[in-house]
């Protein structure tokens, strides 16, 4: 039975239980009920929250003992079958069925918790991908407001590289959801793919991919034009030639893209790190902080329980001097 108070009646086995409390004890609540085939035969049904017994063998034994004691009662209020043998058989059948129901409820509750853990992991992977949105938005806003002073081709290359990395990660999560196999227990994964959490998360990922790919396609066209024009001015620039090789809609994390991606991040950091010790522009420091994370996001977001909201809030609320000190320290660690 549900523990909420918004239900009217529930059919359980051969009985109907109504939402009318007869009493409440330390471990459960007793409700009024009746036999399904004869409403004149009243019963009392005790509801025990599954969380009270899911991890306690002692509680299960107490419940079984209570069932056993109640079935020994003999009064005008107790209905028995025609023979003592039938009573005994029904008693053990009922006790066995009650035990099976309790175990089934415990198994269902455990499976439910495990499904939630799987979903938390998938959302964690999605949130790692979603982090790149914050980086891209911060760079675009700072560049357009003349806070971020870098060349046009570096601006487009860094945005493109981060956006492509985001799309690669989102596609990886999407393929993970579609796959019939995973690193999780096979039965657990099948149950997860049939759950409401799976449907909701899959919808979220699909929407993320739609918006991210749309922006990526627009960016691919614009970045190709910018890089091509830059190469016309300086045909000997090897970094631009290398970048041209990854300017496509191929969403795979191959070694070529990894190299170009890391080189682009390093190029931007080299442009900004000299500003870190003296700048009063917090957005510059935040961009440096974000780019350092982009170099190895799983070093920062190191477990599926990571609090992304707290991460963003701490950076936004961090005092300028404190953030500068943290950035300079991280830059020194990178250079060593």
* pLDDT for position 99: 65
CB atoms within 10 A of CB 293: 21
Provide the pLDDT for residue 72. 58
Are 63 and 69 a contacting pair, CB within 8 Å? no
The residue among 182 and 2 whose pLDDT is bigger is 182
Q: Return the residue matching tokens 């860094």.
A: 158
User: What pLDDT is stored for residue 24 in this prediction?
Assistant: 75
Give helix 196-233 / helix 84-144 axis angle, nearest 10°. 20
Q: For the ranges 33-47, 110-124, 169-183, 319-333, which has the lowest average pLDDT?
A: 33-47
**pLDDT value of position 130:** 95
pLDDT tens-place string over residues 303-335: 999 999 999 999 999 999 999 999 999 998 887
Mean pLDDT lowest among 97-101, 280-284, 316-320: 97-101
16 vs 21: CA distance, rounded Å: 14
Bigger pLDDT: 13 vs 136:
136
Q: Please tell me which residue, 265 or 43, carries the higher pLDDT value.
A: 265
pLDDT at 297: 96
> Token pair for residue 287?
């961009």
Indicate whether 125 pLDDT > 70. Answer: yes
Judged against a pLDDT cut of 70, whether residue 232 lies above it is answered with yes
Residue 237 has pLDDT above 80, yes or no: yes
Close Cβ partners of 230 (under 8 Å, ≥ 6 residues apart)? 153, 237, 240
Give the mean model confidence (pLDDT) for residues 225-251.
Answer: 91
Predicted TM-score (pTM) of this structure: 0.72
């Amino acid at each position: 039975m549900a523990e909420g108070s918004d239900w009217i009646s529930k059919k359980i086995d051969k009985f109907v239980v109504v939402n009318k409390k007869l009493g409440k004890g330390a471990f459960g609540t007793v409700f009024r009920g009746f036999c399904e085939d004869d409403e004149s035969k009243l019963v009392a049904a005790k509801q025990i929250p599954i969380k009270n017994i899911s991890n306690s063998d002692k509680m299960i034994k107490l419940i079984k003992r209570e069932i056993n004691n109640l079935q020994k009662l003999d009064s005008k209020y107790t209905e028995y079958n025609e023979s003592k043998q039938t009573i005994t058989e029904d008693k053990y059948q009922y006790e066995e069925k009650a035990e099976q129901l309790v175990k089934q409820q415990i198994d269902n509750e455990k499976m439910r918790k495990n499904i939630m853990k799987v979903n938390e992991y998938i959302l964690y992977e999605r949130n790692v991908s979603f982090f790149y949105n914050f980086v891209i938005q911060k760079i675009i806003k700072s560049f357009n407001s003349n806070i971020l002073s870098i060349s046009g081709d570096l601006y487009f290359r860094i945005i493109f590289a981060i956006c492509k990395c985001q799309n690669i990660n989102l596609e990886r999560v999407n393929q993970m959801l579609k796959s019939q196999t995973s690193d999780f227990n096979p039965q657990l994964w099948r149950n997860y793919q049939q759950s409401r959490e799976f449907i909701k998360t899959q919808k979220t990922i699909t929407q993320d991919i739609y918006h991210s790919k749309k922006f990526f396609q627009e960016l691919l066209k614009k970045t190709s034009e910018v890089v091509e024009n830059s190469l016309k001015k300086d045909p000997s620039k090897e970094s631009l030639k290398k970048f041209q090789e990854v300017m496509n809609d191929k969403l795979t994390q191959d070694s070529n893209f990894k190299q170009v991606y890391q080189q682009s991040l390093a190029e931007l950091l080299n442009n900004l790190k000299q500003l870190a010790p003296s700048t009063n522009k917090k957005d510059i420091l935040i961009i440096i902080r974000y780019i350092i994370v982009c170099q190895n996001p799983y070093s920062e977001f190191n477990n599926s329980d990571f609090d992304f909201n707290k991460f963003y809030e701490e950076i936004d609320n961090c005092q300028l001097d404190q953030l500068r000190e943290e950035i300079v320290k991280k830059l020194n660690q990178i250079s060593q």
